[in-house]
A and B are shown apart, each in its own frame.
Chain A
């Protein structure tokens, strides 16, 4: 037995440990592990030495300081993750210990806070997507879209899905990971190139699409429905502050990433995948759902509901294996949406639109650059550059600017740039003049 390790997370004193060991009726703590065969018990694990709180801040804080932070440096990377304004109330509310350190609300009487917040989150997701029902959240936008495809297979009894090539390639990769092992056929096509058949469970599309375009989805919805298939749309919720909602176009399932609303970029997570559908399909929906009901005295209260779809009851016949999801982050999105209101969300969207279109116009006016015409668009666009995206980004970074995402597989030397209300005029002007300089200098 090594020397006892006094630690601020471990409250027992040595005297108390002794007292408890005696009460249990063993000679030592080690004896409690006697079921582990000797050959395997007490292995050496090599971890770096323990640090005190003061040392943790220095050591791990040092790692944080080695990263370039968007906002501290100009950054025009989007691709599904965006830096939007997060009001202070969001962090203040979700860092309250009662939200932060509770578990899944299995006991509704002592979880009304989490449950009501979830119900209101579901309500707000329904409002912005124009859908009838929403769940409490999925892991992220990509897994949410994959689960939408699986749900469409359950609803239609079919096993083939069509995915538009204008869907985020990282989302399409997750759709493959989820669907292919279950024997679902995944067909990738350009929008309009669908050959929807009576085997098609659904069409998966994105709005605005990966390259920024905003299109009327009605023809796609009509074509899918005519063949007995569903339409599932992955949508940026900020765009829905000003553009028509997928539900208005006839979408059957709407998913996406709530990250742009109240969630830090955090190097890619934790985020929340939102998930909304028609009420008629609710029993095929994956994930947790909070519902409103009454107690024995008729007082309004909230509880988890429709749990017979879930794995803790239905086991291998559940709609999904998703269990722990992203409740706290969903609450953060709800707090942010509450603070923004319809006016704030619309203004955030319009500011992003205005600034992005200004950047695009400035870049289009440069020699050697061309903004790809994708029709109406929101806050993201592709620029055809004189050099590859890799070269352009490297040259931008030498000037202290983080550029965009390589879109070379869709457009030669294409660079996908994203702009939100967070970008200052100074950052925008720095980008435009750096691009001008790079064009003339052979990407140096």
Chain B
């Protein structure tokens, strides 16, 4: 068997059924072998989207996603997608072609140092020099990508190695003496945490993406109800806890809900699970949860104490640790259920119920999100791009289930949403998939309309069209004296015509009430569809300015009228939050 065939066979042994890829000179041997294989290959129209699609596949399914690109420019185009997966701990294996071993280092045609280039943005990377190494490397790559704190792994495959003969062995042993992720949490720390939680009067849980990755949403719900702890999430934690639950606070942070920001500010015990305390989540660190003892549960020991000082660190798998914690708390009969705290939280949450119904044109983003929420069901996977569209969704869209809200958090990669939706739909063909994007971000990846058409991948893309690089314009409006330097996109293109040029169904929505219908029928049509939604560019999302504490929100926040007449949102809520 040849090296490339060994690669394909090894992928098959890992249960890989689909790869997202783009061929090129240094991958000719491998692609020739793919021609004869049963592997499903989806030809994307840009390698960056192969990586994002593999990432979306991984986030939606929990399995490892796979992408392939040729050497040099193919590999460099993968880089943004790999870095995106790295920042958000998404397990992908990226296979890149490389020039033949004899030419490595000679600046050969389309040569680039893929190993060196991807070292800082991968969990690990490999380059086989002989085909014999391939089976073990592929197995190691999947094991590393998918276990512990997941992350991307790159396999850099020289052209000659793809052709070199080897004796293929099915069950290779892998040998990684330096890689032993801790799964069980330290019993003593769990005991200490249980007693701290038991004695807390005002506990809050902060859930991150790690809760979703470790499938511990059930345990999270149990713990929250057991001790009466309201739950807030990071952006990536969205969906780990049902956001329509009484104890849900919504997202925390710079663009988070004020109720969540207040609760964390006031709590006396913060139980952080599978989150890394990004600056977007914490705001100014010295102000963050300053009245609380902090328990931090994470599988990556390096995350503990990195950004926030922690009182009780617990390293391990969130599912195992939360179960043990629940057991310890129930055994101690220490249910601290502090109704006073729960009620107070409910009360200031009530004061901040954001207004979402608007009958204006151009459409208010809040109204748009409301209609999207009404058109989809609990199992629909929504992806977002980056910018205001992302934060409107994070802020207003109610997620109820894990793995249904996919967004580029750590790297904030424009152009993520649409290709990630493609990957998600391929992974979960039974689920409806809706991508929400800004006009700027969508234009970065609009060529993938060809892919969804060609392979008939029925995702629906809602382009929130404000003709601005909205999020940047927002910062310019708030912090740079409204000097809108190079953030106006002008009046082109016509997205409906653009989609139609690719043979993709398209529609335009401009008035309140229309989107719900159009989106529902697009979802039901079973065809890929683009919906151009004209929105009000002047609507500003309230936010915490960089460098400020979580309660120092700026920007007007509209509340539902029955909540608190005309009192500015944060003033009323602040009052209820008290001290």
* A-B interaction: no
Interface residues of B (CB under 8 A from A): none
